[in-house]
Amino acid sequence: MIDYWPLLGVAVVVAGFALRLNPMLVVVTAGLVSGFAAGKSPGELLSLIGNTFVSNRTLLLFAVTFPAIGILERAGLRERARTWILGFARLTLAGLLIAYLVVRQLLAMVGLIHVAGHPQTVRPLLGPMSEATATRSFGALDPETRDRVRALAAATDNVGVFFGEDVFRSAVDRAVGAADGDRGVRDPRGADPRVRAPARRPAGAHAAAGAASRRAASRGGAVMLTLTHVFWLIGAWLAGATVLNALDRRWLQAAFWAILVVACLLGDPILAASKAGTRWPAQAMGGGVIALAVLAALIRRRPIVEDAAQTAEREASAARLRNSLFFPALAIPGITFLLVLGARIDALHLTSVIEPRQLPLISLGTAATLAIILGLVVTRAHPVRAVTEGRRLLDSIGWPAALPLLLATLGGVFVETGVGKAIAALVGDVIPTDRALACLVAFGLGISACRCWSSSTAPTPRRSARWAC
């Protein structure tokens, strides 16, 4: 018999977003409500939350680009991007965004999702370029219009990757691939005897990567770079941001980032302990997730104030360094692309030093590290600037940086508490699931409803623009 009580968590999400409460607090509360409604004990629920949170750490990988982008922004990258794009006299805002959309979608179609994104390309490049072309077309922009232009730039990236990544793979194959391989989250459908997950057969590039890795192992070699090393890198940088916030007596921010430091540096031991039957590390991490939600509700975002002296300094630096500022920024997507492409060439043996299953993500971490070095060389900045400027970007985004990770955690809790089965049972009672057309219509109506709901409950364009740009 289907237990419908866990659906109370969905009601909490709907009510919380409708009332525009803090999303972090709403998400964690929904997970707790569904967990307790499903009959889980506090220890079991904390362990579930902690394990799911740690298993989805890849959603923090975008933060690895912050130090490099921060260095370049301080040196005038955004100012140079505005000046450079104005050299194309006939380029309009629509033309710029369409061109970016095409490139973003083509890259996502071939699986290169992480070579671009809000921190890598939208904030430092596309956002300022969009503002410059809009200003040329419409004159000086008032704050509300400027924020709408920034939000359009961010939305263009979202649309490109969302629709591009599904072109060459069906929705089922993508869902199983992302859940089973990329993030290490168990596919819930594997437990349903009516719907079996597709077999994980190596094909194409995965077969070549696997063969190269096996040959490396046979020669006595070992995979040198794994996703764990990237997490250590992010954890070390977040630790630096935590210390800087503590020195500034910003205790709430310091505590917030410290919890993420634990997840990045100790995530693997937490998962290993749970597998061995020791649950207290995962329970402690689950308590940390609850603390994240409480801290997010307590943290008050500071208004962004433009300093005239710093603006003049950035403009002077941009005029001096000119287009050389673009090379470290473009190195992040460029090196990521080359590493992923090079791994497909068997003769290079890249898979003997990089874990094949997580190649794109590890390539992103490697590219971001090299971009930091290149940025320090180009700008001649002190290495400490990488931590301080990265922390500036991180604090400007604030708790929303961890919201995708919390949402993924909620999804894991919903799976384990039977929310998905309850919804499937309700839908199956209304829709003839043996009719493909009926399922397609239901899917279309559901997506449309979600889009309308997201539009009505999403933050204002100004707030979204500040997060993304």
Domain boundaries, the chain: 64-192+203-397
Rounded Cα distance between 106 and 108, Å, is: 5
Both structure tokens of 348:
């290079």
- pLDDT (tens digit, 9 = 90+) per residue, 87-113? 998 999 999 999 999 999 988 887 777
Crossing angle (nearest 10°) for helices 308-321 and 66-74: 90
Rounded Cα distance between 68 and 70, Å, is: 5
The band of 379, judged by pLDDT with boundaries at 50, 70 and 90, is very high
- pLDDT (tens digit, 9 = 90+) per residue, 204-260? 444 444 444 444 444 445 557 889 999 999 999 999 999 999 999 999 999 999 999
Residue 350 has pLDDT above 80, yes or no: no
pLDDT more than 70, % of the chain: 81
Residue 200 has pLDDT above 60, yes or no: no
- Tracing tokens 């005038």 back to the chain, one arrives at 76
Residue pair 160/100 in contact (Cβ under 8 Å)? The answer is: yes
Reduced to 3 states (helix: H, G, I; strand: E, B; else coil), residue 110 is coil
Residue 378 has pLDDT above 50, yes or no: yes
Residue 174 has pLDDT above 70, yes or no: no
Both structure tokens of 329:
């920024």
Query: What pLDDT score does 183 carry?
Result: 38
Please give the torsion angle defined by the CA atoms of residues 82, 88, 90 and 93, in that order, rounded to the nearest 10 degrees.
Answer: -30
Average pLDDT, the chain: 82
pTM: 0.81
Query: What pLDDT score does 54 carry?
Result: 95
Q: Which of 341, 90, 106, 357 is nearest to 210 (CA)?
A: 357
Query: What pLDDT score does 311 carry?
Result: 86
Q: How far is CA 408 from the centre of its chain?
A: 11
Query: What pLDDT score does 167 carry?
Result: 73
20-54 in b/e form (b: 16+ CB < 10 A) is eebbbbbbbbbbbbbbbbbebeeebbbbbbbbbbb
Query: What pLDDT score does 50 carry?
Result: 96
Query: What pLDDT score does 450 carry?
Result: 61
Residue pair 72/375 in contact (Cβ under 8 Å)? The answer is: yes
Rounded Cα distance between 139 and 134, Å, is: 7
Residue 185 has pLDDT above 50, yes or no: no
Residue pair 119/65 in contact (Cβ under 8 Å)? The answer is: yes
Phi/psi of residue 225, nearest 5 degrees: -105, 125
